[in-house]
Amino acid sequence: MVNVSTSREKRTLNWMDCLRSSGYRLTEARQAVIDVLAKSDRALNATEIFDFAREGYPSLGLVSVYRTLEKLEELNLIQKVHHPDGCQSYIAGFTGHQHLMICRVCEQAEFFEGDDLTPLIEHVSRESGFTIQEHWLQFFGICSECNNSATSNNLRKKSS
Amino acid sequence: MVNVSTSREKRTLNWMDCLRSSGYRLTEARQAVIDVLAKSDRALNATEIFDFAREGYPSLGLVSVYRTLEKLEELNLIQKVHHPDGCQSYIAGFTGHQHLMICRVCEQAEFFEGDDLTPLIEHVSRESGFTIQEHWLQFFGICSECNNSATSNNLRKKSS
DNA sequence: GTGATTGCAAAGCGTTTGCACCGTA
DNA sequence: TACGGTGCAAACGCTTTGCAATCAC
């Protein structure tokens, strides 16, 4: 089990390095976006990132958020999160193949290893003749913190 | 392994009954949409359904497609399919919890049972303290037909 | 200096809503 | 006949594109 908070502090700098070494320039707009995403343990959508980032860099444009997200995703630094209602958000990602578990109360996300999926994939592949190239697995539920909060009568449900 | 082509012929009539018994009226617009979806073994998006359905019922409006989809989904007759690029489509669904396997060449979809997922869910749940309420699993790959076509030099790749 | 990057405005796309008319029950 | 359903047009939200100004290198 890997928690997204791991080395969150260094992430901002790592991402900057990664952008620079890929030939991209380090601008204030990009820094503002990176700051927000690198520090969040929730998946955020473009507008949320825009709003948070503007607090520190008010002249930021929404377009720059989208363009920065594009590059971060291309460099595999962030990962798209799909929600059942279709809207998309973004979260800091790790290397390798990871699956997401999303809390419906606080929207915090945790990664988990899904290696146990291999037998299922092999089984299904053999039975169907399908060549399975990629899989997509997400869990939705309530994280331990929100479970505790609920039982200790201290609901933190977001009003979104 | 359950193939979507199973009893596809009867499906149109079943869906009509289901709509009627739920208090909805049977209109030409709804029939046109249902005909298309019930006969397709691909997941179709709203525009595709609109285009196909208009062939048989030219006065159909796109809005009616959306409104019919809403009702069919509410009655669990169809199921939303999420694509990696974020766009949504719809496919005839079965009762119970089923997972999708989508061919990237012909876009045909097959359902598979994902019961083997339970141990993984329990394992992850125990380790993380997460209460997992719902999961979402989709496979992407190449179906047996398209595999064969490719090897027999008879590619049927769609030009979408 | 120069070319990548920016923010604005506007266009684009898929979806939803308001509304008067229509057709099913 | 009544009211659920329709299609049109327009609004909507999110995302992308065109463009001149700007800024990192």
Distance CA A105, CA A87 (A): 17
CA distances from B52 to A28, B26, B28, B41, B91 (A): 49, 19, 14, 14, 14
What is the H or E stretch that residue B78 is in?
Answer: strand B78-82
pLDDT at B97: 65
Res. A97 pLDDT band, cuts 50 70 90: low
Burial of A52 (0-12, 13-18, 19+ CB in 10 A): middle
- Domains of chain B, start order: 8-153 (1.10.10.10)
Q: Which of A1, A3, A136 to mutate to test the interface with B (most CBs of B within 10 A)?
A: A136
Distance CA B21, CA B36 (A): 21
Res. A94 pLDDT band, cuts 50 70 90: low
Whether the pLDDT of residue A71 is over 90: the answer is yes
pLDDT at B106: 87
Å from B28 to nearest chain A CA?
Answer: 28
Identity (one letter) of the amino acid at B99? H
**Which of residues 92-151 of B have CB within 7 Å of strand C?**
none
Q: Are the beta carbons of B117 and A120 separated by less than 8 Å? A: yes
Kindly state the tokens that stand for B33. 């949409």
* CA atom of B11 to C1′ atom of D17, Å: 44
Å from A110 to nearest chain B CA?
Answer: 9
User: Above pLDDT 70, what percent of chain A?
Assistant: 83
Distance CA B64, CA B44 (A): 15
Residues of chain B with pLDDT under 50: 1-6, 154-160
Is A66 touching B (CB cutoff 8 A)? Answer: no
Q: Are the beta carbons of B143 and A132 separated by less than 8 Å? A: no
pLDDT at A131: 93
Which residue from B158, B137, B140 is spatially nearest to A125, judged by alpha carbons? B140
Whether the pLDDT of residue A82 is over 60: the answer is yes
Q: Which has more pLDDT, B37 or A147?
A: B37
Res. A74 pLDDT band, cuts 50 70 90: very high
Which residue from A47, A101, A39 is spatially nearest to A69, judged by alpha carbons? A47
Distance CA B94, CA B103 (A): 19
Res. A157 pLDDT band, cuts 50 70 90: very low
Identity (one letter) of the amino acid at A124? V
Whether the pLDDT of residue A6 is over 50: the answer is no
Kindly state the tokens that stand for A117. 């999926």
Q: Write out residues whose CB is closer than 7 A to strand D.
A: A 20, 25-28, 45-47, 62-63, 66-67, 70, 87-88; B 24-25, 27, 29-30, 57, 59-61, 63-64, 67-68
Q: Which residues of A touch B140 (CB under 8 A)?
A: 132-136
Kindly state the tokens that stand for B16. 């009509």
Is B10 touching A (CB cutoff 8 A)? Answer: no
Q: Alpha helices of chain A — where are they, by DSSP H?
A: 8-21, 28-39, 46-56, 62-74, 118-128, 144-151
pLDDT at B158: 40
Q: Which has more pLDDT, A71 or A94?
A: A71
Å from A38 to nearest chain B CA?
Answer: 22
Which residue from A19, A14, A142 is spatially nearest to A71, judged by alpha carbons? A19
CA distances from B57 to B30, B33, B39, B45, B64 (A): 10, 9, 16, 18, 12
